[in-house]
């Protein structure tokens, strides 16, 4: 059996969208979700790609993701918007909120938006990159998540992997796209290693006693049952390696997403079993010409990217990358079809059978 299956992008998107439609999701919303998931696989971020389909299907069936929810605008100014996702799927409300933020920024130079009462929204970079469709616009996207990360000197997971994403345009170079968790790795990375039966590095996570573990199944089970332990902040367990900095970044994301939106944060995200998790997001967009000439900015971005990439390499290293570069290359490679791990394909076939959609692959 081949480990990876090559599936045409249009067929994969169509299948994912059809599955959501069968679960009472509006076609327009289903198409947005499918685009976000397949975009992750195209960029090589398989932890957040179609492998997550099972999570959303289960969430809808369990009643914690409302398939036909409609976002409610709670507060709005020329440069800001506060939205209630009404317990719906994270991708549609995030896409539409970022659209509103971009619209406001194009008119007023800068804008921000917060969303409360939402769900997992996929890769953070997708929404930041929406800004790149407009000349001279910078995009920002951050979100809190289920409590998976242990604070520095702690033993229990209190806050989420809380990713941050920035998308910044260049002139000739590919846009600089930083899309990263504020933990050592996202939970999805553990799921990938567990799926492949591989041990994880000791610096990624701890068991219920607070000791490092290389068994992803132990960490995932403990997180699910909230038995203690979890992922470590970016920088690891100790202050000597900068773990307190990753911890601080994760908390900042929670403040901007959950506290600022008057939504959930820390242990309150996914706080009550059987109820919508109240995941919260923060989005931003700003026009470069609010600060400087767009063309000069882009030229300087090119200069900076090349300065980094063309600097002297460490012994044994052939290349220096900038954020987003590997993902852009993956996206170009998967311009028509994408490689999906065989276990994920098997799961998608099962999901298709459950909801009444025949996989076209």
Q: Which of 143, 178, 139 is nearest to 159 (CA)?
A: 143
Name beta bridge partners: 281.
Answer: 115, 143
Cβ-contact 71, 88 below 8 angstroms: yes
- Residue pointed to by tokens 């317990």: 87
Cα–Cα distance measured from residue 94 to residue 77, given in angstroms and rounded to the nearest whole number: 18
Residue for token digits 């944060």? 265
Helix ranges (H only) for the chain are 9-22, 27-42, 53-62, 90-108, 124-129, 187-196, 216-225, 243-254, 294-309, 325-333, 342-355
Q: Where in the chain is the domain with CATH 3.30.60.50?
A: 185-231
Question: Looking at the domain covering 185-231, what would its CATH class be?
Answer: alpha beta
Every domain of the chain with CATH number 3.30.1370.60 lies at 4-184+232-293+327-355
* Closest among 82, 92, 28 to 56, alpha carbons compared: 92
CA separation for the pair 317, 68 (Å, rounded):
50
Look at residues 258, 25, 26, 23 and name the one whose alpha carbon lies nearest to residue 162: 258
Architecture of the domain whose range is 4-184+232-293+327-355: 2-Layer Sandwich (3.30)
The answer for residues whose C-beta is within 8 angstroms of residue 96's C-beta and 6 or more apart is 71
Strands 80-84 and 110-118: what pairing?
Answer: parallel
Instruction: Using only the alpha carbons of the chain, give its radius of gyration.
Output: 20
Q: Per-residue pLDDT for the chain (361 aa), expressed as one digit of tens each?
A: 579 999 999 999 999 999 999 999 999 999 999 999 999 999 999 989 999 999 999 999 999 999 999 999 999 999 999 999 999 999 999 999 999 999 999 999 999 999 999 999 999 999 999 999 999 999 999 999 999 999 999 999 999 999 999 999 999 999 999 999 999 988 888 988 998 899 999 899 999 988 889 999 999 999 988 889 999 999 998 899 999 999 999 999 999 999 999 999 999 999 988 889 999 999 999 999 999 999 999 999 999 999 999 999 999 999 999 999 999 999 999 999 999 999 999 999 999 999 999 998 8
The length of the chain is 361
The helix-helix angle for 27-42 and 90-108 (nearest 10°) equals 90
- Alpha carbon distance 248, 238 (integer Å): 13
């Amino acid at each position: 059996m081949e480990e990876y299956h090559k599936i045409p992008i249009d067929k994969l998107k169509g299948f994912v969208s059809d599955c959501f439609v069968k679960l009472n999701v509006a076609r327009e919303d289903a198409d947005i979700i499918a685009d976000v998931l397949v975009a992750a696989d195209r960029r090589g971020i398989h932890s957040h790609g179609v492998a997550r389909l099972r999570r959303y299907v289960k969430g809808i069936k369990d009643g914690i993701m409302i398939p036909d929810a409609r976002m409610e605008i709670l507060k709005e100014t020329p440069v800001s918007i506060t939205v209630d996702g009404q317990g719906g799927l994270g991708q549609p409300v995030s896409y539409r909120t970022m659209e509103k933020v971009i619209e406001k920024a194009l008119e007023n130079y800068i804008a921000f938006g917060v969303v409360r009462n939402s769900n997992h929204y996929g890769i953070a970079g997708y929404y930041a990159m929406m800004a790149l469709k407009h000349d001279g616009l910078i995009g920002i996207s951050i979100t809190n998540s289920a409590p998976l990360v242990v604070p520095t000197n702690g033993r229990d997971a209190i806050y989420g992997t809380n990713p941050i994403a920035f998308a910044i345009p260049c002139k000739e170079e590919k846009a600089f796209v930083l899309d990263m968790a504020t933990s050592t790795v996202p939970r999805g990375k553990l799921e990938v290693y567990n799926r492949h039966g591989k041990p994880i590095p000791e610096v990624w996570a701890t068991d219920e006693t607070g000791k490092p573990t290389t068994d992803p199944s132990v960490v995932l089970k403990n997180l699910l049952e909230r038995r203690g332990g979890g992922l470590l902040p970016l920088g690891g367990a100790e202050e000597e390696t900068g773990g307190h900095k990753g911890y601080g970044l994760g908390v900042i994301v929670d403040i901007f997403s959950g506290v600022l939106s008057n939504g959930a944060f820390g242990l309150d995200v996914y706080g009550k079993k059987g109820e919508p998790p109240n995941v919260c997001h923060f989005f931003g967009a700003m026009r470069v010409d609010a600060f400087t000439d767009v063309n000069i900015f882009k030229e300087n971005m090119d200069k900076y990217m090349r300065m980094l990439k063309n600097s002297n390499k460490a012994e044994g290293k052939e290349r220096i990358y900038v954020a987003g570069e590997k993902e852009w290359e993956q996206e170009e490679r998967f311009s028509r079809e994408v490689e999906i791990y065989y276990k994920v394909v098997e799961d998608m076939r099962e999901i298709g059978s459950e909801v009444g959609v025949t996989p076209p692959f």
